[in-house]
Amino acid sequence: MTNYSLRETAAVALSLLDLTNLKDDCTPAQIEALCARAQTPYGNTAAICIWPRFVAQARGILGTDHAVRIATVVNFPAGDMEIADVAAETREAIADGADEIDLVIPYHALLAGNERAVTEMVAAIRAECKEPVLLKTILETGEIKDVALIQRASELAIEAGADFIKTSTGKVAVNATLEAADIMLRAIRQSGRKVGFKPAGGIGSVADAALYLSLAETIMAPDWAMPSTFRFGASGLLDDILNVLGGGQSAKAASGY
């Protein structure tokens, strides 16, 4: 980012981080540890992102009105559930204390040419996410692949009421990329709406984070990235952030960036 030191970039990345554990074998003890890790000596992460079955536990640990928000995932990871089932999953998660819902769009349907499936799913879950609950939509850009289709998925999600558009589940071979980020950020700018962006999966260092923040600054505006407009979805990024804030160097950016 322009004129930002590595340490300053690390501090910004910390404030934007959705600290994630979506491992299939995640345990209650790991959720307890995640809640503790989200509260660092240098400040809190923006949120934790966890499976729906752990939301009530996390809410019990963090209490109400905690600075660390609780995000959870629905229609995850394949994006092929029925709308009614996803709506029910969303209602239960919100009742358990979720602040944010990360919804996988029906990207297989989109790949088959069915745009309406995306619009109907996002609109239905938007209706369940009453303010102040945020709706983040996961496009799974590494599976969509096509530039025009990533743009169209972004447009459909934004038009149907998404608060954020997110690259990936972290469960496929290709997750966040700068190319997908560029397309999605430009779609946000073109929409003229206040919609946030979340790159997720494969972002493991402050050096990685700096590339995405710089891109957002170039396409949107300096200082556009804040917790209400930008999140990183990552499980390993916090380690590098804390190393840098403690006076160390960042790991190199991942290959392919």
Is 65 catalytic? The answer is no
pLDDT value at residue 3 = 74
Marked catalytic residue, from 166, 171, 208, 240 = 166
Architecture of the domain spanning 6-245:
Alpha-Beta Barrel (3.20)
Average of per-residue pLDDT across 121-125? 98
Question: pTM, whole model, 2 decimals?
Answer: 0.97
Average of per-residue pLDDT across 7-29? 98
Read off the pLDDT band of 156 (50, 70, 90). Answer: very high
Marked catalytic residue, from 102, 163, 208, 240 = 102
The helix or strand, by DSSP H or E, that contains position 196, with its residue range, turns out to be strand 196-198
3-state DSSP call for residue 59?
Answer: helix
Which of the pair, 257 or 152, is modelled with greater confidence? 152
Domains of the chain, residue spans: 6-245
Contacts (Cβ under 8 Å, ≥6 apart) of 66: none
Residue with tokens 């996961």: 138
For residue 95, give the nearest of 76, 120, 72 by alpha carbon. 72
Indicate if the pLDDT at residue 186 is higher than 90: yes
In 8-94 the beta strands, taken as DSSP E runs, fall at: 17-21, 39-40, 43-44, 47-50, 69-74
Indicate if the pLDDT at residue 79 is higher than 60: yes
pLDDT value at residue 85 = 98
Read off the pLDDT band of 255 (50, 70, 90). Answer: very low
Is 166 catalytic? The answer is yes
Strands 100-104 and 69-74: parallel
pLDDT value at residue 257 = 47
Marked catalytic residue, from 136, 198, 208, 240 = 198
**Cβ pair 161, 123 in contact under 8 A:** yes
Is 102 catalytic? The answer is yes
